């Protein structure tokens, strides 16, 4: 049975980071065809698709993002940067970063040709030196299904940035997600142990 997570309050206060590899360079020409404009096109989120984020004591834990999780999300000034801390290469506010939502996924287009910093990032992506991206967000509400060990993020409060990354630690999941699953798993084990003890007590009373 799916239940509302008791850790939602914890997640509301901190950013979580998820990696995605589904991105590519997209070339576009100016209207007169004289100037080449290079974009990074990516799909940060595919909705309602469980992804294994963590394995603990032989148990796999999954996460999925609900189709309506971004319905009231603050995406007013999302930025595109490097390792979630570099200079801004593109942003929503000046229309160099665009995010769009459909029934299947969120899509992203970032124009990196406006600054020398952005153009350098573009060359590193083109050369294969940077081959992953991730996005940082804050969860407002989620649910957890202990039967399938699946966390469903139902509402995202704020999307902070989309970033090209080269830090291996981002390959799995954020510390907050690992903490979430470990706490939920400990709850599951305690509940099973309590159920087993109750069965023993009931059996003893029947002797």
Walk along the chain (207 residues) and give the pLDDT tens digit of each residue: 555 554 433 334 478 888 887 778 776 666 666 656 778 888 888 899 998 887 878 888 899 999 999 999 999 999 999 888 878 999 999 999 999 999 999 999 999 988 999 999 988 888 888 888 888 999 999 999 988 999 999 999 999 999 888 764 434 344 555 666 667 767 776 766 776 767 767 766 766
Considering the entire predicted model, what is its pTM? 0.75
> What is the full DSSP assignment across 49-63?
--EEEEEETTEEEEE
Give the pLDDT confidence score for residue 169 in this predicted structure.
43
Nearest Cα to Cα of residue 110 among 23, 32, 195, 39: 39
* Tally of domains in the chain: 1
Q: Which residues contact 124 (CB under 8 A, 6 or more apart)?
A: 130, 164
Give the pLDDT confidence score for residue 155 in this predicted structure.
97
Give the pLDDT confidence score for residue 203 in this predicted structure.
65
- Domain holding 192, by residue range, is 3-205
Give the pLDDT confidence score for residue 44 in this predicted structure.
87
d(CA 187, CA 189): 5
∠ Cα 32 41 159 (to 5°): 125
Q: How many helices (H) and strands (E) does the chain have?
A: 3, 12
């Amino acid at each position: 049975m799916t239940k509302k997570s008791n850790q939602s309050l914890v997640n509301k206060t901190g950013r979580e980071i998820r990696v995605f590899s589904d991105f590519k360079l997209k070339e576009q020409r100016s209207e007169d065809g004289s100037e080449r404009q290079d974009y990074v096109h990516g799909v940060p989120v595919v909705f309602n698709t469980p992804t294994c984020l963590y394995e603990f004591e032989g148990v796999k834990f999954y996460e999925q993002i609900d189709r309506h999780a971004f319905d009231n999300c603050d995406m007013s000034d999302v930025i595109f940067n490097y390792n979630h801390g570099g200079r801004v290469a593109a942003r929503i506010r000046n229309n160099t970063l665009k995010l769009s939502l459909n029934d299947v996924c969120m899509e992203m287009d970032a124009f990196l040709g406006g600054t020398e910093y952005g153009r350098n990032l573009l060359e590193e992506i083109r050369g294969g030196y940077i081959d992953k991206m991730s996005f940082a967000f804050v969860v407002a509400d989620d649910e957890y299904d202990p039967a399938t060990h699946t966390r469903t993020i139902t509402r995202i409060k704020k999307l902070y940035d989309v970033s090209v990354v080269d830090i291996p630690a981002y390959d799995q999941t954020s510390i907050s997600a690992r903490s979430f699953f470990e706490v939920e798993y400990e709850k599951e084990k305690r509940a099973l142990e309590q159920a087993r003890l109750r069965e023993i007590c009931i059996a003893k009373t029947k002797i």
